[in-house]
Amino acid sequence: MDADFCARISNRWKVVQTFMASGKKDAIVYLSMPVTSAKSVAKLALTSTPLKLRLIRIDLEHKSWVLITSLLDSEKYPYHVFSDLYHLRWPVEEDYKIVKCRMELENFTGKTALSVYQDFHAKVLLKNLAAILVLQVNEKLKEQTNPRKYDYQVNITQALSRCNETLVRLFNCSKPRIRILIEDLFNLFQRKLEPVH
């Protein structure tokens, strides 16, 4: 698809272990197709040419991570931009964790294509509704001037659970009742907080 990417890669890969042992912060490597993938690659009519990729070492306080990327041009994408990129990927990874683990997106209630589509879209709607409501509460929390050791935010797992319990009722009640349900959710969210580290 010719889409560029940047991802964290496990140090269990031999090419990563060699790279880490070299002490380099940036290197171009070639990844060959594993023999075990030959049949799948042929079946999908993909090329078996080794992939030319770039490894970037990000040193943190107590650990080092390795990123693998298709962004090979070190003048256009210098080493120093990858540290910020590494930190920007964190909310995306957390979002995947929420969708896969907390919401169990892949736990479908049926086996037909229609039921999978319905489950998927219902969970996306639920997540978006929860995100909109949580955002409002988190903004109010930022405005509060109570001196605390940590900043606080709504516990998203609790928010998803409460929104899930309320979602159907929101579509089956009168407008005045909707306002009451949403206010109840706001109040509940304000009691289900977690510190931001």
First to last CA, the chain: 38
CA distances, 9 to each of 21, 60, 86 (Å): 15, 15, 12
- Assess whether 108 and 189 both reside in one domain: yes
- Assess whether 76 and 12 both reside in one domain: yes
**Average pLDDT score, the chain:** 88
Share of the chain above pLDDT 90, in %: 34
Q: Grade residue 145 by pLDDT with cuts at 50, 70 and 90.
A: low
In a domain, 66, yes or no: yes
Q: Which residue has the higher pLDDT, 161 or 54?
A: 54
Residues 6+ apart with CB under 8 A from 192: 154, 155, 158, 159, 162
User: How confident is the model over 35-46, as pLDDT tens digits?
Assistant: 898 899 889 988
- Assess whether 75 and 114 both reside in one domain: no
User: How confident is the model over 23-74, as pLDDT tens digits?
Assistant: 999 999 999 888 898 899 889 988 888 999 999 999 888 888 899 999 999 9
- Assess whether 76 and 131 both reside in one domain: no
Share of the chain above pLDDT 70, in %: 98
Q: Copy the structure tokens of residue 11.
A: 């140090």
The position carrying tokens 């269990």 is 12
Question: pTM for this structure?
Answer: 0.60
Structural domain range at position 164: 103-196
- Assess whether 77 and 36 both reside in one domain: yes
Q: Looking at residue 29, what is its pLDDT?
A: 96
Average pLDDT rounded to a whole number, residues 70-82: 94
Of the three residues 58, 89, 120, the one that is the final residue of a domain is 89
- Assess whether 174 and 135 both reside in one domain: yes
Of the three residues 59, 89, 119, the one that is the final residue of a domain is 89
Q: Which residue has the higher pLDDT, 19 or 11?
A: 19
- 8 A C-beta contact, residue 192 and residue 139: no
Ranges of beta strands (E only) in the chain are 6-9, 26-31, 51-59, 64-69, 151-154, 193-196
Q: Looking at residue 19, what is its pLDDT?
A: 96
Task: State yes or no: pLDDT of 164 exceeds 90.
Answer: no
How many domains would you assign to the chain?
2
Task: State yes or no: pLDDT of 113 exceeds 90.
Answer: yes
- Assess whether 77 and 134 both reside in one domain: no
